Amino acid sequence: MQFKFSSLSKQAKVTALAIVLLLPFLYSGQDNLTVLEQVQKRGSLTMLTRNGASSYFIGPEGNTGPEYDLAAAFANYLGIRVKVRVANEFGDLGTLLKNRQGELIAANLTRTPKREQQFRFGPDYAETKTIVVYRRGQNRPRELEDLLGLRLSVIAGSSYEAQLEKARESQPGLEWTVKTGMGMEDLLLAIADDELDATLVDSNIFRINSQFYPRLRAGFTIAEHQPQAWAFLPGDDDSLVQKARSFFKLINENGDLLAIQERYNENGNDLDRVGMFQFMKQVRNRLPPLIPVFRDVANAHGLDWRMLAAMGYQESHWDPDAESKTGVRGIMMLTQRTARQLGVHDRLDPVQSIEGGARYFLRMRQRVPDRIPEPDRGWLALAAYNMGYGHLEDARVLTQKQGGNPDSWEDVNESLPLLSQEKWYKQTRYGYARGYEARQYVENIRSYYDTLVWMDTRAHPMLITMLD
């Protein structure tokens, strides 16, 4: 580079000379640092991932997911914070890494021979197997030959493509399509909706998602022992990879790795497949026009719309015209007396019913002692909503008599069935109550709520369709 100083002013000459002298420093400083030193200097590590239940999503309390928790723990191990860059498609992860938009790929990535030519892998932290998933009611595929003629699709850029290519060696007639711009949950939904017949999925991903797709079944295992690991840029600089090896060795030994994996493998939904099937059916058929109402009412009262919606499903399956033999009516199944107290003139009006249900729930929650924190306070209020506050207090008294904590939902939940047993309800102020129904009532709502949160926080395609 050459500068002509003769035509420049004195000040401009000084500025130009300074730039020339600084050029070596501008272009050399960062390049001389290792990747580890760069992230430490910057104070952050960027993980590249995909949105999904088995990797990363935004939950009620912020960023979460198995891969996110691992990456956040790794960043903490390095004394820095973690950042997230979500790829639009699975195949974009490698491009983002090569363009240095992040330091590692953490997205349930299977370590394969082909990928080992593209990336440097850290230590294996999990092992999965690839299974064929199909829709209940179809003939179960039990071997490769059974896939012939099926509408089979897999995610573009995934290891499933290579597995099918290998399978084609023994089954030349095997055909499939690759899907871009879709996630695994989209494919699972497509199978449930009879738009596809089958797909391939990692067993751990299916285990996390299967409760939300009750129509789906596992067919057979197409590939065993698939190791999963983080992917890093190849090259001579393995400083960050070495730190990852030390990190995984540590969390393997202290049990943190197992704790994170088990946290997300737990199935907290107690609904059976029939119950979940019916719920998901009404999510599609009845919930869409009610979502704006649930949102508006919840916002007006500082509540979570998904909780109100879960209550509405438990009460009436979101049927505005619902009516029981005892005379309770509407989406929130209000009694005539309760409706009158709440100023609800038309229980069959969805807006009035949901508004009344919200205020009645708040009335119950306000009676629960302030010292009890959420979520226990909310669960106790739900039990009171179902069976009356007096019976809830009786259950709390029985809980304390038995040595439990009357402020803990877990302990009170164990005592609720006692309210239907004469030996115990004789000791209470308000007598007999169908405590077992209140117990099931709360547990059902928790399951419906968890499902709606799962769909909402993961931008589930079914909810997206509803809100478009």
As annotated, the active-site residues are: 315
- In whole angstroms, give the CA distance from residue 106 to residue 72: 11
- In whole angstroms, give the CA distance from residue 5 to residue 372: 76
Dihedral pair phi/psi, residue 423, rounded to 5°? -55, -35
Q: What tokens were used for 248?
A: 């995984």
Do 320 and 302 contact (CB within 8 A), yes or no?
A: no
Strand, coil or helix: 218: strand
Q: What tokens were used for 65?
A: 């997911």
Bridge partners, 178 (sequence order): 154
DSSP E strands in 319-461: the ranges are none
CA separation, residue 293 to residues 296, 388, 400 (Å):
5, 26, 40
Bridge partners, 120 (sequence order): 232
- In whole angstroms, give the CA distance from residue 102 to residue 94: 10
Q: Where are the alpha helices (DSSP H) in 56-143?
A: 66-78, 92-98, 113-116
